[in-house]
Structure formats: C-alpha cells, structure tokens
Amino acid sequence: MNQTINNTGKLSEHALLAHKPFLRRLNVLDWLFALAVAVTAVFAQFHVGHHMDIYEVVILWFCAASAVLLGWFFKPLRWFTVVSVLLAYGAVQLYGGDIARADRFLLKYFLSSQSAIMWQCATVFLALFCYIAGAFTANRRQTATNTLLGIGTALTWVSALAGFTGLLVRWHESYLLRPDAGHIPVSNLYEVFILFLVITALMYLYYESKFAVQKLGGFVLSFMAAVVVFVLWYSLSREAHAIQPLIPALQSWWMKIHVPANFIGYGAFCISAMLGIAELLAIRSENAGKKSWLPDSQTIEEVMYKAIAVGFLFFTIATILGALWAADAWGRYWSWDPKETWAFIVWLNYAVWLHMRLVAGWRGKVLAWWAIIGLFITAFAFIGVNMFLSGLHSYGTL
C-alpha cells in the first residue's frame, strides 16, 4: 500500500515538474498568429488611422491583444480570426471604396455584410438539424459522437465565421455610405443580435470542445435558431438591416467596449439556460434508472456553472463600463433608469446563483430551474424594458 502511495506520489510530482509555464507551452504557430495579429493592427492603424482618435487606437490594440490571448487559449480561434479578417479584407478590396459595387457577384451572394449574415442564419438551421439528427443516431448506436454531430460542429463554426465577417464588412460599409458617420456595428438591435449569435456560437464551441458535450448542441442551437427567426422578422418588417447613422446618445467610444462585454454576458446566460433544460432531462432519466442519451447531469451542471461564471464576470465589467459611460454622457454614474434597474436585477440574480453553488453547496434541479428562469429575467432586461418601459435608454426600442 505504501509503495502504491509512494509511486502515486512520484507520478504526481513528476507530472507537476513536467508542467510548463503558459508561455513555454506556446508553439511556432502561436507566435506566428500573434505576429499576424500585430501586423494587421499596425496596418489598420496606419491605413484608417485618420478615422480614429486616441481612445479608438487604444481599443484597437486592446482588441489585438485580446485576439492573441484568446487564440492562444482556444486554438481554433487562431484560424477563425485569420480567415474572418481575410474575408473581410477581400470584401473591402472588392468594394474599392464604392458602395455601388455591392451588385458584384462575390459581394452580392457571399461577402457583403447582408449576404454573410444570411449565410450565418442559414447555417444555424443546418447545424441545428445535424445536431438533433446526430444526437438521435448516437443514442440509437450508443456512441459518444458521429459524423452528423461533427458536421453540426463544423456548421456552427461556419455560422460564427459568416456572422463575424458580416459585422466587419458592415463596419466598412457604414463608412462607404457616410464617410463622416461610419461606426462599429453594435448600435441597434439588429446588429447586436448578430453579435450575440457569434458570441454564443463561439462560447458553446469552446465548452463543447473542453467537455466533449456535442449532444448538447441541439439545445444551444435551438435557442440560436429562435433568435435567427427574430432577426429575419425584424429585418423584413422593420428593414433593420439598413445601415443608419448613429444617434447622438451613441456617438461615444464607450459604446465600442460596453456593448461587446454586455453580450458576452448575455450569450453565456442564454447558454446556461439551455443547459439547464438539458440537465433537468438528464436528472429525470437518472432518477428513473434509465440510460440517458445526454451527458450525465453533473457534467452538464459543470458546463452551466462555467458559463454563468464567465457571463457574470463580463456582465459585471459591462455594468461598470455602462456607469462610466453614464457619468460621461449624463453627469452621474447611476440614475435607477429602468434599463439600469433591470441590469442590476440580472447581476443580482446570477450573483446569488453563484453564491448558492459555491458557498451553500446547492446542486441539481434548483440551480437548473434557476438558470432557466434567469433567461426570462435577462430577456426582459434586454428587450422587455425597451418594449414596455421608457427611460434614458429608450433609443433601443423595437
């Protein structure tokens, strides 16, 4: 027994000694990726620097550093970043500074912002079908994965790539339409929903890779498909896809950092809600003594916890940034405007959720139901307030 313990101890010690610092684990491709991002940032600063003030230059380099770190942390993001930037740059070259060239074949059907976003919407539905069919097939054959689930993963990557490329191209198109009023595409509900779809897809793909939970793709993609339906309705009925000039309230560099941080939080909270549904189904099968086609409930809850923890962090950052923006725009950090009040309710909801799990030790159904209910609280804070309440944030109405 002592020998076993000693051997185990030696193995553990050797494993710790073999553990390299983060920077030493990076390979040549990681450094080449970092170099490519840095060169791109330099090119952007000198090529369009006349459109940027000092704050926007700082944001540019912060985004470049973030892209490098994320690419090092989640390796597939390296090719995602490079390909999306190359596609967007290709679209810029095809435009050649003239928005009238949007009727050219590649722009019209693939690389204009609206075309890319439509490809994003289409691939969400295709990915959803593959995830559902793949999960059904895997359940029948008692396998962890299969070709259909792999195709679902690939299509989810394609949807995120198309959406992100579309946003980058839309940014350029705003300057082609109004050289003195171009802006980052996070200024209205249509644009932020596209951003939301991109962020949600990328976050889910990370958790899918880390925890090997491909069978949960159908739950997350179902919610994304519902968002796509809303985006299509909003685009057709309100022509929301048309690029509009910024209203005065949004003509601030704070918007460029506040909105993306907010939607990382929203994306994580929505993923957690769909995982809550999956956990309830898994618990039901486990209690009935049946073999579930889903991962075990503890694994699902661990993924849900990770998503909420990340979402809470970024939502907290977004709330602080929002307060700073309010102080800059209105002269006060907090005014209990309906949007601010409901943002605080969302923050408090997930703060208590994390406290109950980490400190009180809650597990199982209660937290799953709580995450699901949290989606409705978050949805009302994001859309419901704009629809039914008025305040300083009324510019986000439907």
Residues 113-156 have pLDDT tens digits of: 999 999 999 999 999 999 999 999 998 988 888 999 999 999 99
The number of CA neighbours under 13 Å toward the Cβ of 153 is 18
Position 50 confidence tier, pLDDT thresholds 50, 70, 90 = low
Predicted confidence (pLDDT) at residue 371 exceeds the cutoff of 60:
yes
**More reliable by pLDDT, 288 or 194:** 194
pLDDT above 80 for 267? yes
When pLDDT is cut at 50, 70 and 90, the band that residue 19 belongs to is low
Taking the CA atoms of 201, 91, 105 and 112 in sequence, report the sign of the dihedral they define: positive
Residue 240 has pLDDT above 70, yes or no: yes
388 by DSSP, 3-state: which? helix
Give the pLDDT confidence of 59-76 residue by residue, as tens digits: 889 999 999 999 999 999
Torsion sign (Cα): 277, 280, 284, 290: positive
Residue 257 CA to residue 103 CA, distance in Å, equals: 33
Instruction: Answer yes or no: is pLDDT of 255 > 70.
Output: yes
Among the listed ranges 8-22, 158-172, 244-258, 338-352, which one has the minimum average pLDDT value? 8-22
Nearest-angstrom CA–CA distance, 339 and 392: 8
Domain ranges of the chain: 25-73, 76-246, 258-391
pLDDT at 49: 60
Q: Please compute the mean of the pLDDT values over residues 343-370 and round it to a whole number.
A: 96
pLDDT in tens, 206-226: 999 999 999 999 999 999 999
Q: What band does 87 get if pLDDT is binned at 50, 70 and 90? A: very high
Tell me what pLDDT residue 3 has: 43
Distance CA 118, CA 140 (A): 34
Contact 249, 293 (CB under 8 A): no
- Residue 329's pLDDT is 82
Calculate the average pLDDT of the chain: 90
Give the C-alpha separation, 273 to 287, whole Å: 21
DSSP assignment of 302-337 equals HHHHHHHHHHHHHHHHHHHHHHHHHHHHHS-S----
Q: How far apart are CA 387 and CA 380, in angstroms?
A: 9
User: Which amino acid appears at position 198 of this protein?
Assistant: V
pLDDT of residue 5: 42
Closest CA to 355 of 317, 303, 301, 308: 308
Q: Is the pTM of this model over 0.85?
A: yes
Rounded to an integer, what distance in angstroms lies between the CA atom of residue 74 and that of residue 68? 10
Residue 266: predicted pLDDT: 95
Confidence of residue 11 (pLDDT cuts 50, 70, 90): very low
% residues pLDDT > 70 (the chain): 92
